Structures are given as C-alpha cells and as structure tokens.
C-alpha cells in the first residue's frame, strides 16, 4: 500500500517532525508513504492543479495567507470528501471549529509518536475498509479510484465505442469500458439497469413516475416495460430494509 501524504505547516521544524514520525511508523508497519511538505497553503492548493492527489493531509491551523480551517473547507468543497484530514495545532481552542470539515483527529503540538501512531492506525483501517467499495475507472491517460457509493449512474456514450460516463456527486468522469462488465461487478452494490445503456445506483432514486425514474440530482431516465416490475420490487425492498 502506498499512501500519498501532505504536510502543510508554515513551521518547517514541525513539518519535519511529523515527517520523521511517519517514517518511524512506516518502518514499524511496513506501509509505504509518499510524503510532500508544503510551507505555504496556497502552494498546497496549487499542487492539486498538477493532477496531484493525497490520501492524508496533516495541516496546521494558524498559517499566513490562508488558515487551516479555510484550507480544509476548500479541500472538502472543491477537491475531495475522501481525503483524511488531521489538524495539528498549538491552539486546542480551534478544535470545535474544525468539526464541520470532518477531520480524522485534532492533535495538539508537540506531537509524539504515540499520538501519531493511534491516528495512523485509524486512518489506515478506514482506507483499507473504504477501498473495498471503490472501483478503478480508466481513461485514455489516467486511472482513477472512485467510491462506488458516490456514483449516481453510469451512462454508455452512443457516439463513442466502449466509452462510458460516470456521473458522481462531485463530477462526471469519461472512461473506457463496457457497461455489462460494470453491471456484473456492481449488481451486489444495489445498482440496476433501467434500460439499455444505463446503470443506476438505487440509493439515488428520488421517485418513480409512470415509466420514468427521477434521480436526486434531477436526472430523468426512462425505464423499459420489461424492467419496470423488477425496479419496483428492488426499490420497495430497499425502503423496507431502511425502515427496519
């Protein structure tokens, strides 16, 4: 496992301390880390424009130009909801303000190895668990892991051979592949094909009207007459299970 990790702190000494502690954890647990240090929060944000991505981010709260809380809001709203954020600060009074961006933890400086080890064990367990619910989506030049639960529906592009569009909560991703292969892989994750060329995530159904499905993002898709009874059965079963 390779975990890309960013450390964003305007104090070089603190950044290097965290890096050294991660290396110690790396040796003990035989997990590889690709560590990048940023002493300027704006440069950290700019790094995402170069197709950079991180699994874990350690960040200070009080930094010049852009504080850690504002930086975390940018990450959550514009970059990714899956990045594991760990705040590292000399000011514990900011802890409550950090809750809306769902950090994994809030560590108070100075950081010790025991503190980091506990947090890293939690993060690694969460990443391993979440990876079970991700699929690899390939395009001409990139490969991207996306969370199955964030897929609203998958659409086959009629004008392009073996081309699909993954409509997710955050973006639309064009990919190379065949819909039938994903249908086989996702059937156990509450996905259903209402008609040829589409595969929907049942949890994103807002309501069914006549021969159409209205999804939570406002998309309206028709349902073939042959598949309509099965769709009603699956939706009724999911609602019943939810109420239990």
pLDDT digits (tens, 9 = 90+) for 32-53: 999 999 999 999 988 876 545 7
Asked if residue 159 and residue 68 are part of one domain, the reply reads no
Same domain flag for 148 and 58 = no
Cβ–Cβ < 8 Å for 36, 7:
yes
List residues bridging with 174 in a β-sheet.
165
Domain coverage including residue 101: 2-131
Query: Whole-angstrom Cα distance, residue 26 to residue 28?
Result: 6
| Domain identity same for 15 and 44 | yes
> Which pTM value belongs to this model?
0.57
Element (H, E) at 177: none
CB 59 within 8 A of CB 84: no
**pLDDT tens, position by position, 143-172:** 777 888 889 999 999 988 889 999 998 889
- 78-137 residue pLDDT tens: 888 789 999 999 988 888 888 888 899 999 999 999 999 999 999 998 887 766 577 888
Number of domains the chain is built from:
2
87 to each of 2, 108, 146, 161, 230, how far by Cα in Å? 21, 8, 25, 46, 47
- Quick one: average pLDDT of 177-191? 86
Q: What is the CATH number of the domain that holds 144?
A: 2.40.50.1020
């Amino acid at each position: 496992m390779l975990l890309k990790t960013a450390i964003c702190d305007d104090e070089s000494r603190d950044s290097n301390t965290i890096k050294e502690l991660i290396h110690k954890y790396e040796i003990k647990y035989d997990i590889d880390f690709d560590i990048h240090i940023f002493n300027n929060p704006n440069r950290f944000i700019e790094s995402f424009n170069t197709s950079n991505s991180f699994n874990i981010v350690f960040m200070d709260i009080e930094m010049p130009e852009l504080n850690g809380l504002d930086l975390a809001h940018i990450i959550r709203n514009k970059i990714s909801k899956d990045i594991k954020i760990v705040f590292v600060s000399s000011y514990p009074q900011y802890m409550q303000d950090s809750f809306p961006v769902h950090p994994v933890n809030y560590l108070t400086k100075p950081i010790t190895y025991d503190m980091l080890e506990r947090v890293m064990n939690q993060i690694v367990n969460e990443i391993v668990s979440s990876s079970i619910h991700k699929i690899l989506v390939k395009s001409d030049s990139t490969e991207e892991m996306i969370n199955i639960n964030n897929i609203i529906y998958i659409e086959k592009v009629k004008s392009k051979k073996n081309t699909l569009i993954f409509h997710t909560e955050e973006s639309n991703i064009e990919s190379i592949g065949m819909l039938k292969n994903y249908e086989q892989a996702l059937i156990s994750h509450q996905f259903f094909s209402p008609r040829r060329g589409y595969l929907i995530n049942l949890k994103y159904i807002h309501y069914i009207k006549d021969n159409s499905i209205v999804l939570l993002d406002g998309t309206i898709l028709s349902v073939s007459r042959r598949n309509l009874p099965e769709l009603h059965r699956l939706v009724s079963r999911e609602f019943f299970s939810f109420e239990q």
